[in-house]
């Protein structure tokens, strides 16, 4: 009996203690403190959303999301890379280079940061700095087709067409469905007056991806051979991407003087005037937006 009363007292103390704890918990709110891993996951998720917005052309929103991701986690070079790409899209080139420098300090062996750095220097016509950045990328990853392609683009800008073609060939050997490399070979061969080879290359690029650039390039090649087909291709190209109506935009895409001259003559065709007007109107609308 004595043992029974002793156990009863223990149970009573336990019940009182239990209810006191419940009362305290009902008065003190419970706060969730996220772990570092949770914060990193959240930052990466926001970064992915920023990249998707960038893909869909929502540049300002993408930039804001990328900035938010960096505020949460400043130690991920991939987030700095996404921020840099968003800054490039918004033409904030100096800021983009600062972001890339942050990424390179965190991880000096990420070739993508040097490729983007090279692209920025290309956009700002600093060819020697672009070469240095791209060669650094290739020291890290010797078979990076994007770095090889961009070095080819520098040679294209320098009108060293034969060497540019060699690099475009190399990029396509690494990635056979790389239509941009095939397309830019077409640009180079046109400037070398090898129109038939340009035609074949633009057709091959279109077979991989029906992009506005090879469509209009092919149309310019066919201007003297098959005007009806050239007009159809031009209409399709301007409908896909009206920016190609602009001489300056094509120049940014590294179109040479000879192809530019042929395209300007093509765009003056009477049957294309409505398409040209609509394309220019769309460009103006997007610049206002």
Confidence grade of residue 24 (pLDDT, cut at 50, 70, 90):
very low
**Confidence at residue 154, expressed as pLDDT on a 0 to 100 scale:** 96
For the segment 7-36, the average pLDDT, to the nearest whole number, is: 47
Cα separation, 43 vs 77, whole angstroms: 12
Place of tokens 């290309």: 122
Nearby residues of 168 by Cβ (< 8 Å), 6 or more positions away:
149, 152, 181, 182, 184, 185, 188
pLDDT digits (tens, 9 = 90+) for 73-106: 999 999 999 999 999 999 999 999 999 999 999 9
| Structure tokens, 68 | 């938010």
Looking at the chain, the whole-number percentage of residues with pLDDT higher than 70 is 86
What domains are defined for the chain? Answer: 39-141 (1.25.40.10), 150-289 (1.25.40.10)
> Looking at 41-45, 133-137, 196-200, 232-236, which range is the least confident one?
41-45
pLDDT digits (tens, 9 = 90+) for 138-187: 999 999 999 999 999 999 999 999 999 999 999 999 999 999 999 999 99
Classified as helix, coil or strand, 100 is helix
Contact 230, 220 (CB under 8 A): yes
For the segment 227-239, the average pLDDT, to the nearest whole number, is: 98
**pTM of the entire predicted model:** 0.80
pLDDT score of 26 more than 60? no
For the segment 210-235, the average pLDDT, to the nearest whole number, is: 97
pLDDT score of 118 more than 90? yes
Of 157, 165, 132, which is closest to residue 147 (Cα–Cα)? 132
Cα separation, 141 vs 171, whole angstroms: 13
**Confidence at residue 176, expressed as pLDDT on a 0 to 100 scale:** 97
**Confidence at residue 287, expressed as pLDDT on a 0 to 100 scale:** 61
Instruction: Indicate the average pLDDT of the chain.
Output: 88
For the segment 261-284, the average pLDDT, to the nearest whole number, is: 96
pLDDT score of 250 more than 50? yes
Contact 79, 62 (CB under 8 A): no
Kindly report the length of the chain. Answer: 289
Contact 122, 153 (CB under 8 A): yes
pLDDT score of 223 more than 90? yes
Cα separation, 23 vs 39, whole angstroms: 32
Classified as helix, coil or strand, 149 is helix
**Confidence at residue 151, expressed as pLDDT on a 0 to 100 scale:** 97
Contact 62, 83 (CB under 8 A): no
Q: What is the DSSP string of 53-84?
A: HHHTT-HHHHHHHHHHHHHH-SS-HHHHHHHH
**Confidence at residue 284, expressed as pLDDT on a 0 to 100 scale:** 85
For every residue of 159-222, which 3-state class applies, written as one string?
CCHHHHHHHHHHHHHHCCCCHHHHHHHHHHHHHCCCHHHHHHHHHHHHHHCCCHHHHHHHHHHH
């Amino acid at each position: 009996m004595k043992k029974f009363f002793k156990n009863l007292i223990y149970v009573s103390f336990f019940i009182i203690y239990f209810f006191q704890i419940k009362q305290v918990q009902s008065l003190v709110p419970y706060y969730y403190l996220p772990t570092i891993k949770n914060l990193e996951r959240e930052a990466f998720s926001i970064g992915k959303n920023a990249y998707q917005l960038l893909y869909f052309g929502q540049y300002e929103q993408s930039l804001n999301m990328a900035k938010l991701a960096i505020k949460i986690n400043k130690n991920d070079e991939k987030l700095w890379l996404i921020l840099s790409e968003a800054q490039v899209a918004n033409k904030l080139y100096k800021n983009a280079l600062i972001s890339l420098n942050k990424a390179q300090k965190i991880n000096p062996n990420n070739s993508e940061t040097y490729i983007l750095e090279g692209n920025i220097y290309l956009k700002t016509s600093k060819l020697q700095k672009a070469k240095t950045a791209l060669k650094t990328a290739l020291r890290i990853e010797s078979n990076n087709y994007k770095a090889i392609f961009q070095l080819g683009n520098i040679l294209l800008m320098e009108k060293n067409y034969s060497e540019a073609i060699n690099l475009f060939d190399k990029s396509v050997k690494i990635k056979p469905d790389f239509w941009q490399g095939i397309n830019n070979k077409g640009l180079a061969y046109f400037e070398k007056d090898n129109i038939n080879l340009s035609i074949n290359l633009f057709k091959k690029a279109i077979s991989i991806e029906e992009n506005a650039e090879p469509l209009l390039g092919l149309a310019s090649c066919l201007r003297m051979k098959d005007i009806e087909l050239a007009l159809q291709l031009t209409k399709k190209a301007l409908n896909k991407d009206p920016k190609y109506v602009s001489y300056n935009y094509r120049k940014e895409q590294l179109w040479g003087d000879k192809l530019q001259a042929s395209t300007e003559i093509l765009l003056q065709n009477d049957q294309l005037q409505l398409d040209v007007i609509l394309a220019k109107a769309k460009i103006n609308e997007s610049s206002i937006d």
